[in-house]
């Protein structure tokens, strides 16, 4: 349960970073050339910075990471208040310092408060997921553009007159990409 919540948090944040990066990057790269590669549009770094700013919209998701420990804390305090072990819910005998069932100490957990540690962890989580999403996103864009270049080269094999094609961007990319033919310069020149 704890692991599921935490993995889901990482997954959601990374997915957000990935989708926003690929979406913005595909909108701002309008055309490429093949087989000699050049592209017209924004470079990955400014797009990544924009994505980091957009991560602020979902920064609250990072606190879902703390949910399992918050719930465990509340449950333990509620059980102790009812005269049961905070860990295993076993009814307690009077005047004991340890649970007779699971052996854990019967000290009430500290009350919950928003600590600096939480904020630090949330920032770390956001930056980590941002980096991961942006890196995978850039790889995704490069693969999509490579496939588009291959399509142009294949089209030219059928009809050498074809000198450009339009390519529908692969999800979550947005719009179309124009691929223009640009022969590689001769080695002698
Ligand atoms: Zn116990």
- CA angle at residue 63 from 171 to 80, to 5 degrees? 140
Q: How many whole angstroms from 115 Cα to the centroid of ligand 1? A: 28
pLDDT of residue 177: 94
Q: How many whole angstroms from 98 Cα to the centroid of ligand 1? A: 8
Q: How many whole angstroms from 173 Cα to the centroid of ligand 1? A: 53
Q: How many whole angstroms from 71 Cα to the centroid of ligand 1? A: 17
Q: How many whole angstroms from 95 Cα to the centroid of ligand 1? A: 15
Average the pLDDT over each of 22-31, 109-118, 144-153, 159-168 and give the range with the smallest value. Answer: 109-118
pLDDT of residue 87: 87
More confident residue, 160 or 189: 160
pLDDT of residue 187: 57
Q: How many whole angstroms from 83 Cα to the centroid of ligand 1? A: 11
Q: How many whole angstroms from 73 Cα to the centroid of ligand 1? A: 15
Q: How many whole angstroms from 67 Cα to the centroid of ligand 1? A: 22
pLDDT tens-digit readout, 65-91: 989 888 988 999 999 889 899 889 998
pLDDT tens-digit readout, 97-152: 888 888 888 887 777 777 788 899 999 999 999 999 999 999 999 999 999 999 99
Q: How many CA atoms lie within 13 A of 39 on its CB side?
A: 17
The answer to whether residue 189 scores a pLDDT higher than 60 is: no
Q: What percent of the chain has pLDDT over 90?
A: 63
Neighbours of ion ligand 1 (CB under 5 A): 85, 87-88, 90, 99, 101-102
Give CA–CA dist 55/71, Å, rounded: 26
Q: What percent of the chain has pLDDT over 70?
A: 98
Q: In what order do the strands lie in the sheet with 29-35?
A: 39-41, 29-35, 176-182, 164-168
Residue whose structure tokens are 């294949």: 154
């Amino acid at each position: 349960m704890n692991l599921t919540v935490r993995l889901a948090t990482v997954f959601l944040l990374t997915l957000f970073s990935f989708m926003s990066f690929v979406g913005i990057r595909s909108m701002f790269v309008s055309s490429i050339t093949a087989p000699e590669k050049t592209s017209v549009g924004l470079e990955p770094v400014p797009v990544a910075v924009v994505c980091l700013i957009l991560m602020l919209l979902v920064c609250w998701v990072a606190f879902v990471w703390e949910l399992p420990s918050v719930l465990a804390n509340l449950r333990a305090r509620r059980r102790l208040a009812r005269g049961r072990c905070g860990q295993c819910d076993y009814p307690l005998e009077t005047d004991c310092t340890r649970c007779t069932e699971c052996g854990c100490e019967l000290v009430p957990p500290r009350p919950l408060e928003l600590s600096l540690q939480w904020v630090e962890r949330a920032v770390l989580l956001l930056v980590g997921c941002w980096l991961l999403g942006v890196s995978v996103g850039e790889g995704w864009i490069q693969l999509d553009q490579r496939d588009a270049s291959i399509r142009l080269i294949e089209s030219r094999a059928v009809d050498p007159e074809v000198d450009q094609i339009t390519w529908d961007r692969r999800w979550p990319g947005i719009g179309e990409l124009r691929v223009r033919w640009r022969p590689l310069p001769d080695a002698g020149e």
